[in-house]
Structure 1
Amino acid sequence: MRTNPLIALPRSARRLPRMAPDMSRLPTGRIVTLADDVVTRLYDTGEEHLQPVILLHGMAATGMLNWYQTFQRLHGEYRLIAYDQRHHGMGHTGNFDFQTLSEDVLRVADHLELERPVVGGYSMGGIVAQLAARPDPSRLGGLVLAATGTGAQRNALEKATLGGFARTAPLLNAVPVEVAREIGEEVPGPTAWALRELSSVSLAAHRTVISQVARFNSTSWLHELDLPVAIVKTMRDIAFPQSIQDEMADLLPHSAVFPIQGGHAVCATQPGRFASRMRTAIGWVVSNGR
């Protein structure tokens, strides 16, 4: 008798149905080749008459896994675009550093011929968004930075915080690859889809991202970003404490803060509330970018 592969998961992972997406309301991902032969999986709601918003996922996630509730709730309000960043999901397998990831943002914008898209970034994606705006802020319509900050590991407290994050990184991938493979190749249901997405990010990718975060520091140049920036401030965040998020808001010349009561994984633990906060933040950016 064939056993259910979900039984092999920890109880916390088996609770995924509560946050599973309505697959019928999400665009189908397609494999695209960007400039410089960068290959990725891209999702696009495709409404060319609407303001484009590129959404960048965080570590251990994929484009749609991080943003499915935002896609479901904001569909028809904006042209929403997400893609798998390098070494995540079906993202490019080449060189990985935040500067290169930021160049991929502009590759996506050029590939889709987007004019001044808003760029939203979650955690790692927020760092990438900052870097994407740095060369020429006028290319973008604004930023939405969620659960992110100016960097980490600049003092003893931040080192301790990042060290704890690094030690618990293996727990971020609660779905063994073997379990995901047992789900099969048929079109998966919502829960199986979420499990497969989670298993697609290796522990090596987690370690690489954490080391990149440890070296990142945007405090010396954030004041150069002359564009509207909304900050979705996660009030109980351990990975990016409030002080790091407040510092980011203070340094940016045109920013507004939209707090949400939640930790670093609020997009997963409270996906509906997070999507609603994104709606408010994106709306502020669009209104102030005209």
Structure 2
Amino acid sequence: MPRNSLGSLPRAASRLPRMAPDMSRLPAGRIVTLADDVTTRLYDTGEEHLRPVVLLHGMAATGMLNWYQTFQRLQGEYRLIAFDQRWHGMGHHGDFGFQALGEDVLRVVDHLGLESPIIGGYSMGGLVAQLAARTDPSRLGGLVLAATGTGAERNALEKITLGGFLRSSPLLNAVPVEIAREISEETPSPHAWALRELSSVSFATHRTVIGEVARFNSTSWLHELDLPVAIIKTTRDIAFPQWIQDEMADLLPRSAVFPVHAGHAVCAT
């Protein structure tokens, strides 16, 4: 399993982040209908001459809320695409399950006619990216898996941690929807926009997603994914401890690990 230093990452990765979004630099979201009448809100920089990268957000986030810094920093280097996954933001409100979320990724790829896109997944999005690749790895150019792993609830420590998340999950959404509804600006400020996005993910979604994470286990089939995978290893991660990220890297036949000395929320913050 190769190990790479941060010095070998693309030059854009070393830029200082902007914590407040510059709304003028972000593409407008649009509602699209994918195959099987699946609807979602899609963001696309639209630069068809650049390599396409589809970014999958984590739990309690939305496509742009999770990835706006990436959009600001990598526009012009890749064609960046994000969308709201089911039960998040303006994502589809049909049946929920990680297998369905993985199929939605390929629906987006087909809808946009993307050739060999890179799929980047953070946390929950990393699990979904694995499932999308499992369906047909030949359709994808590679994966970037950040702050994620092979699943959870396989030993006593993980069960205790998952139990704590389930009991505290209502606290994850700190923005009641009533507050967001009071924001009436037609073009909201970055702060008001973030409040709206946070409030769009219900408490029920948190609990459902945590339950899906608890059931997820990719250890029996990850070795089948014969495509290049970059793993952003968050060394201070509590949600996905280092060992479970290392397990994922060891199982993937073509993986490279890029350690980042930060906690689980680093991709969003």
TM-score for both structures, normalised by structure 1: 0.85
1:68 aligns with 2:64: no
Task: Output the CA distance in 1 between the equivalents of 2:267 and 2:120.
Answer: 13
Secondary structure of residue in 2 paired with 1:232:
strand
Name the counterpart of 1:254.
254
Check if 1:213 corresponds to 2:182: no
Q: Shift of the alpha carbon at 1:231?
A: 0.6
Partner of 1:288: none
Q: Does 1:51 align with 2:48?
A: no
RMSD: 1.0
Tell me the SS of whatever aligns to 1:168.
helix
Contact 1:89 1:201 in 2 (8 A): yes
The question of whether the paired residues in 1 share the 8 Å contact of 2:47 and 2:79 is answered with yes
Partner of 1:89: 89
**Which residue of structure 1 aligns with residue 187 of structure 2?**
187
Q: Does 1:125 align with 2:130?
A: no
Shift of 1:19: 2.4
Shift of 1:185: 4.9
Shift of 1:179: 0.6
Say which SS state the counterpart of residue 230 (structure 1) adopts.
Answer: strand
Aligned-partner residue type, residue 47 of structure 1: E
2:230 and 2:255 in contact (8 A); partners too? yes
- 8 Å CA contact retained: 1:117, 1:142: yes
**In structure 1, what is the Cα distance between the partners aligned to 2:41 and 2:89?**
8
SS of 1:259's partner is strand
Please name the residue that 2:177 is paired with. 177
Q: Which whole-Å CA distance do the structure 1 matches of 2:183 and 2:32 have between them?
A: 26
Corresponding residue for 1:200? 200
The structural deviation recorded for 1:163 is 1.6
| Deviation sequence 1:233-286 (CA, Å, 0-9, x none) | 1111111111110100000000011111211111233xxxxxxxxxxxxxxxxx
CA distance in 1, matches of 2:236, 2:170: 21
> For residue 69 of structure 1, what is the amino acid of its counterpart?
Q
SS at match of 1:265: helix
Equivalent residues of 1:119, 1:143 under 8 A apart: yes
Contact 1:19 1:268 in 2 (8 A): no
Cα distance in 2, alignment partners of residues 249 and 57 from structure 1: 20
Corresponding position of 2:30: 30
**8 Å CA contact retained: 2:67, 2:268:** no
- Report the secondary structure of 1:184's partner residue: coil
Q: Counterpart amino acid of 1:114? A: L
Q: Structure 2 CA distance, aligned partners of 1:241 and 1:47?
A: 36
Cα deviation, 1:7-39, whole Å, max 9, x if unaligned, reads xxxxxxxxxxx8220001100000000000001
Paired residue type of 1:192: A
**Structure 1 alignment gaps of length 5 or more:** 1-17, 270-290
Matched, 1:79 2:79: yes
User: Which segment drifts farther, 75-84 or 255-264?
Assistant: 255-264
Aligned partners of 2:40 and 2:83 also within 8 Å:
yes
Aligned to 2:99: 99
State the Cα deviation string for residues 168-217 of structure 1 (Å, max 9, x = none): 22221111111100011511010000010000000000000000000000
CA distance in 1, matches of 2:30, 2:158: 39
